[in-house]
Amino acid sequence: MNVSIRLRLFVMMVLEFAIWGAWLPLIYSYLPGLGFSPGEQSLILNAFPIAAIVGMFFSNQFVDRHFAAEKYLAFSHLVGGAAIFALAFTKSFWPFFGLMLVHCLLYVPTQSIANSIAFTNMKDAQKEFGLVRMGGTIGWILAAWPFTFILVDWGKVQEANPQGFTKWLGTILGSPLTDQALLDGIRWTYIVSGIASFVLAAVSFTLPHTPPKKVAAGEDRFAWLESVKLLRHPFVLVLWLVSFVDAFVLYCYFNWTGGFLGTPVSAGGVGIPGNWIMPVMSIGQVTEILTMFILGVTLKKLGWRTTMVIGILGHAVRFGVYAFFPGSQSLIILVQALHGICYAFFFATVYIFVDEYFPKDVRSSAQGLFNVMILGIGSLAANSICPWLKQTIFTHDDVTDFRSLFLVPLVTAVGAAVVLGLFFRPPAREKQPEAAAQAAVAA
């Protein structure tokens, strides 16, 4: 792939995931602080998966067949950026929900569209996608670390009046916002996300032109129907269903980890200062970068199934540490590294697998099919159940039983790994050339 094109695709991924990474980790503690009920929290959180489902049936097909992908990115990030920016100044439920829904309806489809733009301009996806997608990981990290300095009690720093750069920096890092001040400070996550959206809207016009795919004679006008037909093959159906379970477990992590890290040790949590929660959670993205470097080699050595099973079991190990070693702050911080392995070895592998096994004319819609599970239904299930489990079932007298709470995703992840290991049997790629895949769809 041309170096200039690779760089532009890399920057696209950096900004694409910085937008999401800026607001997602702290929204789960921000919404209860605004006084929203568990039901209202679920509605706001579910704007994202609802948008993923809508994107499957509208946006992905719309871009595939009728619109240049890079122009759609520009429009979506301009309007969606304005919506997420406005959330920083919104505290009433219905306006908050409406703005989040607008943002998500425009933003979520751009993830699969960005993948489509990347794959369209690649010659060898197994070698090249990991390096380009690594930009998304870096974008998530870049969105997290500034909040170490944004969520700081600057009045306390001024009172301390530290002398010298080292003492000044140490005072800043040790003076996090707390209580209501921390809640008010989190609104900056939406400002940062909005700014990143506006930048990507401008950058989109520099991306390689990816024209719409016109409907040929005899070709199904509804591209997503073509990809749905492949669910009749057992190995595709198994992977699709396991993607739902793994997505559910992933969003259990996002729903509960921030609150768990910030909860005082006396209440069963880890006691991480508020301005350090996002950087600690971003450790997983650092390991994701390293994992992406070896993903291609890993796939060739271990194969699809073993690689993905390892990714799923990483969730089980992490939640096991949460459940049984909550008092070990250093171990809890260290185990965040598993997030990168979980993501790269399962979700990134799924996207590459789709690109390998689905016919060219429906690959973007096939990506959308799996996004329905990964970003849609799995997330919808977690965002509907997790607030209720944590705040109603496992919390009594304002104290959460974190051990019992974390056993839920632990057991779920182990079950998904067993199912994938036993029932996912894709045919060898050389035995299923594209012509055979086309014939399977047509049948």
User: Which segments of 214-362 does DSSP mark as H helices, in order?
Assistant: 223-229, 234-262, 277-281, 283-324, 329-335, 338-342, 349-357
| Least confidently predicted of 124-128, 292-296, 329-333, 385-389 | 124-128
Which of the two residues, 228 and 278, has the higher pLDDT score? 278
Residue 230 located in a structural domain? yes
Q: What integer pLDDT is reported at residue 124 of this predicted model?
A: 73
Q: In the prediction, which pLDDT does 376 show? A: 85
- Asked if residue 246 belongs to a domain, the reply is yes
3-state helix, strand, coil in the chain (%, to 5): 80, 0, 15
pLDDT score recorded for residue 258: 92
How confident is the model at residue 422, as a pLDDT?
95
Instruction: Answer with the residue of higher pLDDT: 441 or 89.
Output: 89
Which residues constitute the domain of residue 197?
Answer: 3-151+186-442
Residue 171 lies in a domain: no
- Per-residue pLDDT at 435: 37
Write the pLDDT tens digit of every residue in 75-100: 999 999 999 999 999 999 999 999 99
Number of domain units in the chain? 1
**Run of H or E residues at 113:** helix 93-120
Quick one: pLDDT at residue 97? 97
Q: What is the CATH number of the domain that holds 425?
A: 1.20.1250.20
pLDDT above 90 covers a percentage of the chain that reads 50
User: Strands, DSSP E only, in 56-132?
Assistant: none
Q: Name the pLDDT band for 215 (thresholds 50, 70, 90).
A: low
CA–CA distance, 125 with 23 (Å, rounded to integer)? 30
pLDDT greater than 70 at residue 276: yes
Contact 199, 15 (CB under 8 A): yes
Tokens at 59, concatenated: 């946006």
pLDDT at 441: 35
Q: Is the residue at 376 inside a domain?
A: yes
Tell me: pLDDT of 267 over 70.
Answer: yes
For residue 302, pLDDT over 50 is answered with yes
Whether the per-residue pLDDT at 209 is higher than 90: the answer is no
State the pLDDT confidence band at 325, using cuts at 50, 70 and 90: very high
In a domain, 167, yes or no: no
Beta bridge partners, 176, equal 152
Whether 139 is covered by a domain: the verdict is yes
| Per-residue pLDDT, 173 | 85
Q: What is the pTM of this model?
A: 0.80
Percentage of the chain surpassing pLDDT 70?
Answer: 89
Identify whether 163 is part of a domain: no
User: Which pLDDT does position 431 carry in this prediction?
Assistant: 40
- Give the type of residue at 145: W
Residue 65 domain flag: yes
Q: Poorest-confidence range of 28-42, 341-355, 356-370?
A: 356-370
What pLDDT does 440 receive? Answer: 32
| Average pLDDT score over residue span 144-165 | 88
Q: Do 272 and 25 form a contact (C-beta atoms < 8 A)?
A: no
Contacts of 36 (CB under 8 A, 6+ apart): 44, 93, 96
